[in-house]
Amino acid sequence: MSAKPSLRVVVAEDSAVIRAGIVEILADRGHEVPAAVGDAASLIEAVAEHHPDLALIDVRMPPTYTDEGLRAALTLRDDQPDFPVLIFSQYVETRLLVELFGRHGSQGAAGIGYLLKDRVGNVADFMDALSRVAAGGTALDPEVIAELIGAGGRARALDNLTAREREVLSLMAEGRSNAAIASSLVVSERAIEKHISSIFLKLDLLPSGTDHRRVLAVLEYLRL
Amino acid sequence: MVASAPFTRRSWRELLYALVSFPLGVFGVAFVMATLFFGTLLSVILVGLVLLASSTLAVRRLGALNRDIVRRLLDEDVPPPPPFRPGPGVVGWVRSGVTDRPGWRARGYLVVKFPLALAGFIAVIALRIGSLWLFLAPAQWAANVGTETLQSHGVAQHYIINFGSFYFDTWQRTLLLMGIGVVGWWLAPWVLRAILYLDRHLLADLLGRTSLPSRVRQLERARAGAVDDASARLRRLERDLHDGAQAELVGLVMKLGLAQEKLAHSEPHSLPEVAQARRLVDDAHDRANTALRQLRDLARGIHPPELEHGLESALGTLAARSPLPARATVTTTERPSPAIEEIVYFCAAELVANAAKHSGGSAVAIELTQDGDLLQLSVADDGIGGAAIAGSGLSGLAERLSTVDGRLKVTSPLGGPTVLAVEIPAKP
């Protein structure tokens, strides 16, 4: 893990306590934080000024505390479609997912992460998600996936999946690679591949190569 | 009873009331007209406004005097309007004086009172005194007092009264007059009573508390204010939790997470103190996470953050999260007040959860439409039916709805489908 490259991260979070905590964790992991700001306008300025590798953005920020962070992230990605953003919020908001992943076709999920704030306290998960997003992958909070899978809609068809296949599906939806899924479930990568093709067959999905395309396929299946 | 009407205590008191009312009525209308006239005339130099405001206090006094007399003489207790509450400063005093509703209502009473007082006075004078005079006609005729004299055929004939060429000039005829007097005397209290009936009603309407419909409007406004206020307070509370305790806890969880990582990578692993510290930190991290989750659920119950973006988005999220496949359709034209949005959202959440738990159905449809000022929420499932308001979680919902004049209607025949229809005024 220590071999991961050092990243330059701009942090946008209005709560001073959380901002300081995030900066501390990032610094501890050898990442550089050229700017840590408290609102959306400063975030856009800071990104223009420092050209960071990634922006870490809170959804609720001043002045209206609704979705300034999300708007700013979408603005940043309009300027630079593959700019990695990791969004975090206090609650699971499915609407956020639609807005985040609904753009730019299948490339939309590249370099996007959505975590719950609680997750930031789990340093290993947080750092894992951060580096995945910075590398152009996808990171979705497990709790978000759990809600989607637990919800109605076409998720009912998931009843056909075996317990292990559902586990694999969840990890896949989080944006993890085959290797990561294999190590997390302590099975071989070959076994994971078999599970995945079985899942795609059962759900009638087209197999696709990159992890973020897979995420989109699964999310789309879950009726987002 | 009817026959003795003219001689009852009540009739005498009514008579007294009519006599007292007359000068009071004349003074009242004169006072109101004069103050209004000069007040309006002089309002260009502002003195008029002060005059109008002061006259408000005076007409309230006159109103109180009228209420007092009615209470003493007619046994009718009219509750007084709320006391005059002047605004701060001279300007505030003048403004509240000029705009004082009970004051204007009292003026209205005093103006209308005048013709009534006049009518009452005439009724008393004409009927009572006149009847008495007629009753005494035979005596007058006999004593030759108060009679006119008619010269006819050279004979002087005295008479009491004449209708055209009909002269009451014999004692039998004066007995007829006496009869008319008796009837008049007996009639007098009833005529007066009819006039006082109007007076009492006007008095109760104009000098009493605000009339019922406007009092209801007042209460509705007050309740809407209270509902909005409570909802704003809850939103503030949720914001405070989010900015305060929740942020602190996230900070704490992060620190503990970092400490956890440090301990996990510290050497040597084998030291029992390190192992113990690791367990402690792990435990603390777990607990802090649990506390954070609980706090989050609590905040969500206080004010659902989904509502920040309106009902369409919130109900969409609700449908996406529903364990029973759900679809939300929202076709409202404008955002209702936050308090109403909150109630609509909680209703929908409760009804969808109910459908998932009890209906045994396979899908639920959430629909929110607007018909003028009325929001209509319908939550329909294709389950087994048989839902009722009584004795279920629905009664609590119905109660909550009633605070904003909302209604809950259940259509749930055995075998289904169940449709729960909620109607809420868009403005509280």
Q: What distances in angstroms separate CA B17 from CA A126, B117, B127, B366, one per listed residue?
A: 89, 9, 15, 66
Q: Across the interface, do A15 and B243 touch by the CB < 8 Å criterion?
A: yes
Q: Across the interface, do A17 and B257 touch by the CB < 8 Å criterion?
A: no
CA distance B243 to chain A (A): 7
Estimate to the nearest angstrom the gap between the alpha carbon of B333 and the chain centroid: 29
**pLDDT digits over B153-203, tens only?**
666 667 777 777 777 777 777 788 888 888 888 888 888 889 999 998 888
CA distance B78 to B127: 29
HEC string for chain B: CCCCHHHCHHHHHHHHHHHHHHHHHHHHHHHHHHHHHHHHHHHHHCHHHHHHHHHHHHHHHHHHHHHHHHHHHHCCCCCCCCCCCCCCHHHHHHHHHHHCHHHHHHHHHHHHHHHHHHHHHHHHHHHHHHHHHHHCHHHHHHHCCCCEEEEECCEEEEECCEECCEECCCHHHHHHHHHHHHHHHHHHHHHHHHHHHHHHHHHHHHHCCCCHHHHHHHHHHHHHHHHHHHHHHHHHHHHHHHHHHHHHHHHHHHHHHHHHHHHHCCCCCCCHHHHHHHHHHHHHHHHHHHHHHHHHHHHHHHCCHHHHHCHHHHHHHHHHHCCCCEEEEEECCCCCCHHHHHHHHHHHHHHHHHHHHHHCCCCEEEEEEEECCEEEEEEEECCCCCCCCCCCHHHHHHHHHHCCCCEEEEECCCCCCEEEEEEEECCC
Q: Assess B300–A contact: CB distance below 8 Å, yes or no.
A: yes
Name the pLDDT band for B290 (thresholds 50, 70, 90). Answer: very high
pTM: 0.60
Q: What is the CATH number of domain B309-425?
A: 3.30.565.10
**pLDDT digits over B238-274, tens only?**
888 888 888 899 999 999 998 988 888 777 666 788 8
Tokens of A116: 């719950």
Q: Assess A62–B contact: CB distance below 8 Å, yes or no.
A: no
Domain residue ranges in chain B: 5-207, 214-302, 309-425
Beta bridge partners of B156: B151
Q: Assess B309–A contact: CB distance below 8 Å, yes or no.
A: yes
pLDDT at B268: 65
The tally of CA atoms less than 13 A away on the side-chain side of residue B352 is 28
Q: Assess A147–B contact: CB distance below 8 Å, yes or no.
A: yes
**pLDDT digits over B111-120, tens only?**
999 999 999 9
CA distance B414 to chain A (A): 24
Q: Which of A22, A25, A151 sits opposite B321 (nearest CB)?
A: A151
Q: Across the interface, do A148 and B316 touch by the CB < 8 Å criterion?
A: no
CA distance A153 to chain B (A): 4
Q: Across the interface, do A24 and B258 touch by the CB < 8 Å criterion?
A: yes
Other CB atoms within 10 Å distance of the CB of residue B222: 10
Q: What are phi and psi of A122, to 5 degrees?
A: -90, 90
User: Domains, chain A, ranges and CATH?
Assistant: 8-140 (3.40.50.2300), 146-221 (1.10.10.10)
- In chain B, the residue whose alpha carbon lies closest to the alpha carbon of A64 is B308
Which range has the worst mean pLDDT, A150-164, B53-67, B371-385?
A150-164
Other CB atoms within 10 Å distance of the CB of residue B420: 25
Estimate to the nearest angstrom the gap between the alpha carbon of A17 and the chain centroid: 23
Q: Which of A21, A123, A147 sits opposite B251 (nearest CB)?
A: A21
Do residues A27 and A52 lie in contact, with contact meaning Cβ atoms separated by under 8 Å?
Answer: no
- In chain B, the residue whose alpha carbon lies closest to the alpha carbon of A122 is B257
Tokens of A221: 């299946």
Q: Across the interface, do A94 and B256 touch by the CB < 8 Å criterion?
A: no
| B-contacting residues in A 168-187 (Cβ below 8 Å) | none
Beta bridge partners of B330: B368
pLDDT at B211: 62
Using the CB atoms, write b or e for A125-160: b if 16+ within 10 Å. Answer: bbbbbbbbbbbbbbbbbeebbebbbebbbebeebee
User: Region A149-164: what's the mean pLDDT?
Assistant: 68
Name the pLDDT band for A130 (thresholds 50, 70, 90). Answer: very high
Residue numbers in A near B260 (CB within 8 A): 123
Position A101 pLDDT exceeds 80:
no
- ipTM, interface predicted TM-score of the complex: 0.77
Strand ranges of the sheet holding B407-411, from the earlier edge strand across to the other edge: B326-331, B364-371, B374-381, B418-425, B407-411
Contacts of residue B141, defined as CB under 8 A and 6 or more positions apart, other chains included, come to B147, B158, B159, B160, B168, B171, B174
Q: Assess A123–B contact: CB distance below 8 Å, yes or no.
A: yes
B171 compared with A130, residue with greater pLDDT:
A130
Q: Assess B256–A contact: CB distance below 8 Å, yes or no.
A: yes
**pLDDT digits over B402-427, tens only?**
888 888 888 888 887 889 999 998 87
CA distance B75 to B72: 6
Look up tokens 């995420």; give the residue: A215
Q: Assess A71–B contact: CB distance below 8 Å, yes or no.
A: no
Taking one residue from A and the other from B, the number of pairs with CB-CB distance under 8 angstroms is: 107
HEC string for chain A: CCCCCCCEEEEECCCHHHHHHHHHHHHHCCCEEEEEECCHHHHHHHHHHHCCCEEEEECCCCCCCCCHHHHHHHHHHHHCCCCCEEEEECCCCHHHHHHHHCCCHHHHHCCEEEEEHHHHCCHHHHHHHHHHHHCCCEEECHHHHHHHHHCCHHHHHHHHCCHHHHHHHHHHHHCCCHHHHHHHHCCCHHHHHHHHHHHHHHHCCCCCCCHHHHHHHHHHHCCC
Residue numbers in B near A123 (CB within 8 A): 254, 257-258, 260-261
Q: Assess B311–A contact: CB distance below 8 Å, yes or no.
A: no
Position B7 pLDDT exceeds 80:
no
Please work out, in degrees rounded to the nearest 5, the angle formed at the alpha carbon of residue A215 by the alpha carbons of A123 and A117.
Answer: 30
Q: For residue B278, which amino acid is it?
A: R
Q: Across the interface, do B250 and A20 touch by the CB < 8 Å criterion?
A: no
Q: Across the interface, do B253 and A18 touch by the CB < 8 Å criterion?
A: no
pLDDT at A1: 43
A7 compared with B216, residue with greater pLDDT:
A7
User: Region B196-212: what's the mean pLDDT?
Assistant: 83
Q: Across the interface, do A25 and B257 touch by the CB < 8 Å criterion?
A: yes
**pLDDT digits over B308-364, tens only?**
778 888 888 888 778 788 888 999 888 888 888 989 999 999 899 888 888 888 889
Q: How long a stretch of residues is chain B?
A: 428
Substitution target in B237, B250, B308 with the highest count of A β-carbons within 10 Å is B250
Q: Across the interface, do A121 and B289 touch by the CB < 8 Å criterion?
A: yes
Q: Across the interface, do B254 and A21 touch by the CB < 8 Å criterion?
A: yes
Name the pLDDT band for A2 (thresholds 50, 70, 90). Answer: very low
- How far does chain B reach from its first CA to its final CA, in angstroms? 54
Q: Which of B254, B305, B309 sits opposite A121 (nearest CB)?
A: B254
**pLDDT digits over B380-406, tens only?**
988 888 877 765 678 888 888 888 888
Estimate to the nearest angstrom the gap between the alpha carbon of B137 and the chain centroid: 58
Share of chain B above pLDDT 70, in %: 93
Please work out, in degrees rounded to the nearest 5, the angle formed at the alpha carbon of residue B38 by the alpha carbons of B33 and B44.
Answer: 140
Q: Across the interface, do A94 and B317 touch by the CB < 8 Å criterion?
A: yes
